[in-house]
Amino acid sequence: MKLTYSLDKLGTAGLLITALFSPCCFPLFAFAASALGLGSFELFGGWTMWVFQGMVLVSVAGMYMSYRSHRNIYLLLLSIVSGLLIFYGYHFNESNYWTYFLYAGMLGLLLATGLNWYRNKQQGACATCVDFNGKTVELQSTLICPDCGHQKTELMPTNACVFFYECEHCKTRLKPLAGDCCVFCSYGTVKCPPIQAGEGCC
């Protein structure tokens, strides 16, 4: 599961390694490769550009997987546009500047992957967040009694719904409102884990 949501980083790292170790296909990296003593060494021989394009697809696929979890359309669009720039430069641009499209696409994918990693790390910093069916959900919710207004912060379970809850202040027994699956969905500041994950009621 962890690998599935790291495809964007895996693909971006792969295309950068391919470019760095194949300076004959990516002249911008020739100096760095020469400094490493590689000269005109080509990492995958005649398969270099095909491997490179495969890594681009892996990176975009990983960004789509991440989008399904976090719904950040801007990073997904950036990665798609970057991927299209690379394929346009390699397959459709016949000028002497076709490598510029490759470099622009690589920069875009690197930027999208970096921002996606930073965003995921920020969300993952939540002390009461867990992975629930492949998605990050918040377990802490504050229940607010509709009768007396008393508030109590509780941790929601991930394996069951809390159908009844007694207010510790006025002793009112709370139960879900019509259409809700648990007391947290009705009176909590955060919905229950299945609802956060976009699934049906638990």
- Whether residue 30 has pLDDT greater than 70: no
Q: List pLDDT tens digits, range 135-191.
A: 888 899 999 999 999 999 999 998 888 999 999 999 999 999 998 989 999 999 999
Cβ burial 71-92 (10 Å sphere, 16+ → b, else e):
ebeebbebbbebbebbbebbee
Closest CA to 9 of 72, 70, 55: 55
Are residues 105 and 31 part of one domain? yes
Residue with tokens 């495969």: 54
Are residues 104 and 45 part of one domain? yes
Domain's final residue, options 124, 156, 175: 124
* Low-confidence winner among 13-22, 115-124, 140-149 (lowest mean pLDDT): 13-22
- Whether residue 25 has pLDDT greater than 70: no
* Low-confidence winner among 27-41, 107-121, 188-202 (lowest mean pLDDT): 27-41
Q: Where are the alpha helices (DSSP H) in the chain?
A: 7-20, 30-35, 48-70, 73-91, 98-124, 183-187, 193-196
Query: How many alpha carbons lie under 13 Å from residue 68 in its C-beta half-sphere?
Result: 11
Structurally, the chain folds into a number of domains equal to 2
Q: List pLDDT tens digits, range 33-62.
A: 555 555 555 556 667 778 888 888 888 888
Domain's final residue, options 124, 150, 184: 124
**Mean pLDDT, to the nearest integer, of 78-89?**
91
Cβ burial 148-166 (10 Å sphere, 16+ → b, else e):
eeeeeeeebebeebbeebe
- Whole-angstrom Cα Rg for the chain: 24
Are residues 189 and 157 part of one domain? yes
pLDDT-derived band at 80 (thresholds 50, 70, 90) equals: very high
Are residues 120 and 147 part of one domain? no
Cβ atoms of 55 and 21 within 8 Å: the answer is: no
pTM: 0.53
Domain's final residue, options 124, 157, 180: 124
Whole-number percent of the chain with pLDDT over 70: 75
Are residues 72 and 9 part of one domain? yes
- In a domain, residue 97? The reply is yes
**For residue 12, what are the domain limits?**
4-124
The per-residue pLDDT for 1 is: 40
- Whether residue 196 has pLDDT greater than 80: yes
Q: Of 23-37, 57-71, 80-94, where does the model show the most confidence?
A: 80-94
- In a domain, residue 202? The reply is no
Cβ atoms of 69 and 1 within 8 Å: the answer is: no
* Rounded-to-integer distance, Cα 12 and Cα 170, Å: 57
Are residues 134 and 74 part of one domain? no
Whole-number percent of the chain with pLDDT over 90: 29
Are residues 163 and 108 part of one domain? no
Are residues 134 and 78 part of one domain? no
Size (the chain), residues: 202
Are residues 116 and 52 part of one domain? yes
